[in-house]
Amino acid sequence: MSFSTNSTTRRSFLRVGSSVIALPFLESFAKTKTVVPPKRMIFLGGGFGFTKDTFYPKQAGRFAEIGMTEGLSPLARHKDDITMVTNLTNLGASNPHGGSTSYLTGANVAGTPGKRFHNSISCDQVAAEHLGKDTRYASLVLSAKESDGGSNSGHGAGLSLSWDESGNPIPGINKPLDLFHQLFAHAGDSREELDARLKKKQSILDLVRIDGGGMKRSLSKGDREKLDEYFTGVRQVEKGLERQAKWADIPKPNAPFEAPDEGITGEQAIHLMYDMIIVALQTGMTNVVSYRQPVCSLLSGMGIALKAHSLSHYGFSQPRILASRERDKKCSGLFAHFIDRLKEAKDSDGSRLFDNCIVSYGSNLRSGHELKNVPAIITGGGAEKIKHGRNIVLPEEDTPLANYWLTLMQQAGIKSAKFSHSTGILPELLS
C-alpha cells in the first residue's frame, strides 16, 4: 500500500511520529533538566525563478499593508511569518544555464585561473560543521530525479545544492523511498549486519588507498590537483565510516507509516520529502537540510507539457505566461504546506518546531535567465532578531547573496565573519 499524501494522512503521520519517537525522549529528560532545542537550518531551492510581473512585490513594506502578489497568494495564511529580501545577486554566478551550481556557494566556478571548473563549500555544509556534530547525519542532502537528468530543470545535470569543503558535489538523495530507508529502521540494521557492511566498505578503502607522497613529485600540476581531489574524496568516505560506526549502537526509529512507492515524483515527492524532513528534525537525526526540488516532474504533474527551461522563455506566449503563473502558485502552495507542518510539529521542549528553524526558500535565477535580484524568502522563528511579515528592499542593487547566507548562519549561532564573496551581514534584515 502506498503512502497517501492527503492532508489528513500527513497530519496523522506527524502526530504518530511525534508520539512514537519524540515523547519518550521528552519524558526521560523533563525530570532532570529543561531541554533546549538546537537551531535548525533548511535550504530549499528550485530552478528558473518565478514570473516577473505577478510573483514579486512592487514595493517594500509589511505584507499586511502592501498585500500578497498572485504568485505568493498561497502563502497568505503565513504572511506574518515570512520575509522576502529584494536586491540580492549571486556575484559568483555568470552563466544562467549553470543551474544551482553556485547558489549556496557563491563561487565563480569558471573564474579560477588554470582550472576549467572550481567550486567552493556551500553554506549548508558550513552550517553542518557547527550544528551537526552530535547528530546521526551532519546534514541531509536531498535532490530530485528528473526524467531529463536535471539539465532542463535549472539545476545543472542532476546535482544537489550542496558542495563539500573541497568544492566537490555531494550526491543528493533523489527519491522519497531512499530517504525513507535512510531515516527508519529496516531489515539489515542489526549490529552484526552493520559491522559486516562497515568492514566491507573499509576493505574497499584499503584497496584504493595509496601513498601519493612520492608520486606527487613526478606529476604535473594538473595531475597533482587530481590526486589531491582523490585523497580528499577518500578522507570524506573515511569520515562517513567513522560516523556510521559511532551511531551503530543507537537504533534508528521505526517507521510510523509504510514505505512510499518507488515511482513517486513531482508534487507527491515534494510532499513526502517535506514530511520526512520534519521527522528527521523532530527526532534529532539532523539539524541541517538542503533540498534541490524537482521542477520538470512538477510541471508534468500539473498537466504542463513544457520543460522548465522552455517555460522560462514565457515572454512571447500567453499560454506559457499563464502556465508560469500557475507554476508559481503551486510552488508557493507547497512551501505553505511545509510551514504548516513545521508549525504543527512539536520540538523536544514542547514548543513548535517552527520556532527553532531558519528556513530559506529561493532560486538561483529571478525570472527566465536573469541572474540579478534573485528571490529569497525566509521563515521560521530560529532567527530571533529577524522580524517577519514584510518585503525588504535592500538599499543597494546587487547586494551579495553571500551576505544573506552569512546573516542567516550568524543567526543560527555560527560564528563566521565571512562567507564566500560576502562583504558583511544584512542589517536591514535584523532591524
- Tell me which of 45-54, 91-100, 199-208, 363-372 is least confident: 199-208
Each residue of 174-198: pLDDT tens digit?
999 999 999 997 655 555 665 565 5
Q: Which among 224, 250, 276 is the end of a domain?
A: 250
Each residue of 383-411: pLDDT tens digit?
999 999 999 999 999 999 999 999 999 99
Same domain, 208 and 275: no
Q: Is 256 a domain residue?
A: no
pLDDT of residue 243: 60
- Which residues are bridge partners to 352 per DSSP? 346
Same domain, 332 and 414: yes
pLDDT of residue 2: 39
Q: How far is the C-alpha of 109 from the C-alpha of 103, rounded, in Å?
A: 11
Q: Which of 53-62, 216-225, 252-261 has the highest mean pLDDT?
A: 53-62
What value does the mean pLDDT take over residues 83-97? 93
Q: How far is the C-alpha of 248 from the C-alpha of 194, rounded, in Å?
A: 7
Q: Is 2 a domain residue?
A: no
Q: Which among 221, 250, 279 is the end of a domain?
A: 250
Q: Is 58 a domain residue?
A: yes
pLDDT of residue 189: 57
pLDDT: which is higher, 342 or 110? 342
pLDDT of residue 113: 82
- Which residues are bridge partners to 62 per DSSP? 390
- Tell me which of 21-25, 89-93, 151-155, 315-319 is least confident: 21-25
The CATH number given to whatever domain includes residue 353 is 3.40.720.10
Q: How far is the C-alpha of 207 from the C-alpha of 203, rounded, in Å?
A: 6
Range of the domain at 206: 190-250
pLDDT: which is higher, 206 or 73? 73
Q: How far is the C-alpha of 186 from the C-alpha of 174, rounded, in Å?
A: 19
pLDDT of residue 112: 80
Same domain, 282 and 380: yes
Q: Is 115 a domain residue?
A: yes
Each residue of 6-55: pLDDT tens digit?
444 444 444 444 433 443 344 444 444 567 899 999 999 988 899 999 99
Q: Report the length, in residues, of the chain.
A: 431
In terms of pTM, does the model score above 0.85? no
Nearest one of 121, 144, 83 to 430, comparing CA atoms: 83
Q: Is 179 a domain residue?
A: yes
Same domain, 173 and 207: no
Check whether 130 has a pLDDT greater than 60. Answer: yes
Same domain, 165 and 213: no
Looking up cell 513545521 gives: 342
Q: How far is the C-alpha of 213 from the C-alpha of 237, rounded, in Å?
A: 20
Q: What are the two backbone dihedrals, phi and then psi, of residue 155, each rounded to the nearest 5 degrees?
A: -120, -10
Same domain, 161 and 18: yes
Decide: helix, strand or coil at residue 313.
Answer: coil
Q: Is 255 a domain residue?
A: no
Each residue of 206-249: pLDDT tens digit?
555 555 555 556 666 556 555 555 555 555 555 655 565 666 66
Same domain, 32 and 133: yes
The cell for 23 is 515523547
Q: Give buried/exposed letters for 365-378 (b at 16+ CB in 10 A, else e).
A: bbbbeebebbbbbb
Any idea of the CA torsion for 68, 69, 70, 73, to the nearest 10 degrees?
-20
Q: Is 238 a domain residue?
A: yes
Among the residues of 86-208, which ranges form H helices? 123-131, 176-183, 191-208
Q: How far is the C-alpha of 288 from the C-alpha of 103, rounded, in Å?
A: 17
Q: Is 281 a domain residue?
A: yes
- What's the pLDDT band for 151 if we cut at 50, 70, 90? low
Task: Kindly report the average pLDDT of the chain as a whole number.
Answer: 83
pLDDT of residue 32: 46
What value does the mean pLDDT take over residues 131-148? 88
What value does the mean pLDDT take over residues 262-285? 94
CB atoms within 10 A of CB 186: 12
pLDDT of residue 100: 86
Same domain, 177 and 200: no
pLDDT of residue 248: 63
Same domain, 246 and 387: no
- What's the pLDDT band for 155 if we cut at 50, 70, 90? low
Give residues with Cβ within 8 angstroms of 201, minimum separation 6. 237, 241
Residue at 153: amino acid letter: S
pLDDT of residue 157: 54
pLDDT of residue 186: 65
Check whether 95 has a pLDDT greater than 90. Answer: no
Residue at 195: amino acid letter: D
Each residue of 302-351: pLDDT tens digit?
999 988 888 888 887 899 999 999 999 999 999 999 999 999 999 999 99
Same domain, 84 and 232: no
Count of the separate structural domains present in the chain: 2
Residue at 359: amino acid letter: V
Same domain, 201 and 149: no
Nearest one of 89, 65, 75, 71 to 390, comparing CA atoms: 65
Same domain, 126 and 226: no
